[in-house]
Amino acid sequence: MMPLFRPGQAVAVGPERPRPGDCAVYVYGGRNLLHRVAGVSHGGAVFVDDAGRLEPHYVSWAEVRGTVLDGGLLAAGLPGLCYARLRRALYAANPFN
């Protein structure tokens, strides 16, 4: 299954605070990264990758740069959460994809 975004791909990012299921750009370990928001709290958000290869990690709101605006239907909200769960389930079943 192909990733939603490719390395080096340009995306439009808005200043809105992301919600669960949204894709967002954030700073982690000194790098700008783009992953999906799995959950939010008062102080920040938990990010995951759709394939389930990375451990979920917490990022404070100060490090979140914004929500991806042009990722299509699968980059936001409930459709994004469903897509991410399906991808993680498929990866867990066959990690060589």
**What domains can you pick out in the chain, each with its CATH number?**
13-92 (2.30.30.140)
pTM: 0.82
The tens digit of pLDDT for each residue in 14-71 reads: 999 999 999 999 999 899 999 999 999 999 999 998 877 888 999 999 999 999 998 7
CA distances from 86 to 19, 28, 51 (A): 19, 25, 9
HSE toward the beta carbon, residue 20, CA cutoff 13 A: 8
Name, in order, each residue with C-beta under 8 angstroms of 81's C-beta and a sequence gap of 6 or more.
20, 21, 36
Asked if residue 10 has pLDDT above 80, the reply is yes
